[in-house]
Amino acid sequence: MARFVCSDPLPLESGRSIPSFEIEYEVYGEFHPERTVLLCHALSGSSHAAGEGGWWDGMIGPGKALDTDELCVICSNTLGGCSGSTGPSSPHPDDGKPWALRFPVITVGDMVNAQRRLADHLGVDRWKAVVGGCLGGAQALTWLQRYPERCERVAAVGITGATSPHSLAFYEVLRQSLRLDPAYGDGDYYSEGIPTAGMGLNARIGMLFWMTPEVMVARYGRELLGDDYAYTLDPEFGIHQGMAALGAGAGAKFDPNTMIYLSRAMDYYDLARGYPDIQSAMAKSLRPVHLVSYKSDWRYPPERVEKLSEALPGARHSVLDSAFGHGAWLFDTATLATTLAPFFRS
């Protein structure tokens, strides 16, 4: 675990700026400025990508797809995050109290600009690769669009060229469920403790999307907690208990304000914005790109990823099978590792 402290103000796309910021990151493999990969996490991720509890441990390590015998992998907690980097839970420079909703609205481009400062600080002129899924993939593709000279290649999984209307609606549901939590209040809850019920509901809603009906049948079926129907309003089915466990886990460790800010950044994500079309937006991004989508991921479906692929001069697109839909790149990494390993080795 390491931390980069940047005392220079970071101008934001909104026109506002952050007077100073910190980025927490983890380093896997021996650092070398010419063979370092930047790994970007998704909405509820952190810089802890590899090792015990790491969100992409199946992908990172000696001999794995991101082979730390050959490469150094740096995963940074995004700007706006709640796992060490500056975000709504961090102290405001004026009064030392948490920013809460005083934190400025940020975009994926702002996250990338903060990472660029980290690259400068580390002396990395060009990442060996920039890699990520979902929001992390949006960051990787934004690097590709804005700073192609600073990334040798890009791999993006489960992401399209813009946030779809369905995902706009999905993120709005996540935010509304956080705000409904009585403990959320006006968002400045830090002295009382982080609210957990809204994040618990978020996790349950998320499960409806990443865990496909087939996986739920295999894992839970209609199994009861007791011997028979109890005719109560309490959880009576195994899947209810599974959801409660998932909700408790998610609620215990994540700041709702970070979810609100990061999901809003995803709302704005649209590579073609300011360009006539996606082709012209990506015309200068002449780098090898490997896109991966999943047949069961109807939130980021292969057809829409293929449209992005067609707009990228150097892109290859792999469509994989998995029962885990949009969660496949996190929960079902074996095929993904086989698919991406040659790309990182080349």
Between CA 41 and CA 56 the distance in angstroms is 9
Between CA 272 and CA 264 the distance in angstroms is 18
Question: Is the separation of the CB atoms in 268 and 258 below 8 Å?
Answer: no
Please report how close the Cβ of residue 221 comes to a copy of itself at its closest, in angstroms.
Answer: 6
Length of the chain: 346
Question: Is the separation of the CB atoms in 66 and 131 below 8 Å?
Answer: yes
**Residues 112-141 contacting a copy of itself, CB under 8 A:** none
Choosing from 8, 97, 149, 176, the residue that interacts with a copy of itself (CB under 8 A) is 176
Choosing from 95, 96, 191, 222, the residue that interacts with a copy of itself (CB under 8 A) is 222
- The 10 Å CB-count burial string (b at 16+, else e) for 129-155 is bbbbbbbbbbbbbbbbbbbbebbbbbb
Q: Among the candidate windows 71-79, 229-237, 308-316, 337-345, which touches a copy of itself by CB under 8 A? A: 229-237
Nearest CB to a copy of itself, comparing residues 42 and 211? 211
**Residues 255-294 contacting a copy of itself, CB under 8 A:** 260-261, 264, 267-268, 270
Number of residues that bind a copy of itself (CB under 8 A): 61
Please report how close the Cβ of residue 269 comes to a copy of itself at its closest, in angstroms.
Answer: 10
Pairing outcome for strands 129-133 and 72-76: unpaired
Choosing from 34, 70, 149, 172, the residue that interacts with a copy of itself (CB under 8 A) is 172
Task: Specify the amino acid at residue 310.
Answer: E
Angular region, 193: left φ>0, alpha ψ -120 to 50, beta rest: left
Rounded to a whole number, what is the distance in angstroms from the first to the last CA of the chain?
A: 28
Choosing from 7, 15, 63, 193, the residue that interacts with a copy of itself (CB under 8 A) is 15
Interacting residues toward a copy of itself by CB under 8 A: 12-16, 101, 104-105, 107, 162-166, 168-170, 172-173, 175-177, 180-182, 197-198, 200-201, 204-205, 207-208, 211-213, 216-217, 219-222, 229, 231-233, 235-237, 239-240, 243, 260-261, 264, 267-268, 270, 298-299, 301
